[in-house]
Amino acid sequence: MIPARRRNSVLWHGLVILALVLLLYPVAWLVGTSFKPAAEVLTTLSVLPRHSTTDNYRQVVQGVAGYSVWHYLQNSLVISIGAVIGNVLSCSVTGYVFARLHFRGRGLMFAFMISTIMLPQHVVLIPQYVIFQRLGMVNTFWPLVLPKFLATDAFFVFLMVQFIRGLPRELDEAATIDGCGPVRTFRHIILPLLRPAVITTSIFTFIWTWNDFFSQLIYLNDPAKYTLPLALRIFIDETSQSSYGPMFAMSVLALIPIALFFLAFQRFLVEGVATSGLRG
């Protein structure tokens, strides 16, 4: 007889492995399909190609719509890194203001800020587009980066507020006694302690911005300014017969920066979430 505890452990591990296989199968199929010739892409669901080829990657590297994959990769990096810098700077400052400074209407403003999390993106899409159109910023990277410097992502502001509220107020009081004002207190005391929350904000912002398709589709209409998500659409639109092989190859290349970014900072992500009051 197998002990009940061991049997339950084997059953639990079996279920976890099964769930892992189900989750990783689409990724494995994507990678395998990127090496399939055009005739095999839609005719088989097997992960491994019957006749492996690198023509899909060769076509992607050579270029699509007159630009190579490295051009689209550069555009995605510029937008994603700009969004990360904007969110980190604006949300950390805004979070410090709400968590530490006392001013009239702070509670009402904080509640209004939190309520914007429940606001669908499509509600503000037209007003934002009209504003950027009148400013002459349509078909530029500014509509995708500039709002990040204005603390428009309430989720990350809330993340910073929760983290700062967990820091001892005695640190602020000691800094005040030493002659520091709010700006110097934030710069020299609070900001160095915000590393877990800053890294968490950076990871989520980078991933969400990198994978964003809708906003980039609205504001970018010149192929020279396309990002990787928009470049994937070209393989479907440019010919009457869709080029699925190169599209899957570019999809694999688009996943690599996200995977590397996450693997490099995953331990900081767990630390930031665990220490930012988001566990319940």
Same domain, 28 and 70: no
Question: Per the domain annotation, does 280 fall within a domain?
Answer: no
- pLDDT at position 243: 76
Q: Is the pLDDT of residue 86 over 90?
A: yes
- pLDDT at position 277: 46
Residue 10 lies in domain? 4-54
Same domain, 169 and 48: no
**Mean pLDDT along residues 208-218:** 93
Domain's final residue, options 32, 54, 76: 54
Percent of the chain with pLDDT over 70: 91
Same domain, 265 and 128: yes
Q: Is the pLDDT of residue 278 over 50?
A: no
94-142 per-position pLDDT tens digit: 999 999 999 999 999 999 999 988 888 888 889 999 999 999 999 999 9
Question: Per the domain annotation, does 90 fall within a domain?
Answer: yes
Q: Is the pLDDT of residue 269 over 70?
A: no
- pLDDT at position 280: 38
**Mean pLDDT along residues 137-160:** 94
Number of folded domains in the chain?
2
Q: Is the pLDDT of residue 228 over 80?
A: yes
Cβ atoms of residues 42 and 243 within 8 Å: no
How many Cα atoms are found within 13 Å in the side-chain-facing hemisphere of 99?
24
- pLDDT at position 108: 94
**Mean pLDDT along residues 207-213:** 92
Angle between helices 4-33 and 244-274 (to 10 degrees): 140
**Mean pLDDT along residues 140-160:** 94
Cβ atoms of residues 46 and 32 within 8 Å: yes
In whole angstroms, give the CA distance from residue 265 to residue 137: 33
Question: Per the domain annotation, does 255 fall within a domain?
Answer: yes
DSSP 23-52: HHHHHHHHHHHTTS-HHHHTT---SS-SS-
Higher-pLDDT residue of 1, 137: 137
**Mean pLDDT along residues 268-275:** 62
Look up the CATH number of the domain holding residue 176: 1.10.3720.10
Residue by residue, what is the 3-state secondary structure of 187-223?
HHHHHHHCHHHHHHHHHHHHHHHHHCCHHHHHHCCCH
Same domain, 218 and 142: yes
Question: Per the domain annotation, does 250 fall within a domain?
Answer: yes
Domain's final residue, options 54, 71, 86: 54
Q: Is the pLDDT of residue 265 over 90?
A: no
Same domain, 108 and 247: yes
Enumerate residues 6+ apart whose C-beta is below 8 A from 9.
none
Question: Per the domain annotation, does 166 fall within a domain?
Answer: yes
Same domain, 261 and 215: yes
End-to-end Cα spacing for the chain: 41
- pLDDT at position 63: 76
Same domain, 40 and 149: no
Question: Per the domain annotation, does 136 fall within a domain?
Answer: yes
Question: Per the domain annotation, does 237 fall within a domain?
Answer: yes
Question: Per the domain annotation, does 240 fall within a domain?
Answer: yes
26-40 per-position pLDDT tens digit: 888 889 988 988 778
| Most confident of the ranges 29-38, 41-50, 57-66, 123-132 | 123-132
Same domain, 190 and 134: yes
pTM for the whole thing? 0.84
Same domain, 96 and 219: yes
Same domain, 96 and 234: yes
Q: Tokens at residue 235, please?
A: 């393989």
Domain's final residue, options 29, 54, 79: 54
Cβ atoms of residues 132 and 219 within 8 Å: yes
Give which of 186, 155, 158, 156 is closest to 172, Cα–Cα: 186
Give the model's confidence band at 279: pLDDT under 50 very low, under 70 low, under 90 confident, else very high. very low
Q: Is the pLDDT of residue 274 over 60?
A: no
Same domain, 210 and 90: yes
- pLDDT at position 206: 92
DSSP the chain: ---HHHHHHHHHHHHHHHHHHHHHHHHHHHHHHTTS-HHHHTT---SS-SS---HHHHHHHH-BTTB-HHHHHHHHHHHHHHHHHHHHHHHHHHHHHHHH---TTHHHHHHHHHHGGGS-HHHHHHHHHHHHHHTT-TTSSHHHHGGGGGT--HHHHHHHHHHHHTS-THHHHHHHHTT--HHHHIIIIIHHHTHHHHHHHHHHHHHHHHH--HHHHHH---GGG--HHHHHHHHHHSSSS--HHHHHHHHHHHHHHHHHHHHHHHHHHHHHHHTTT---
- The region of weakest confidence among 61-70, 74-83, 107-116, 236-245 is 236-245
Same domain, 66 and 21: no
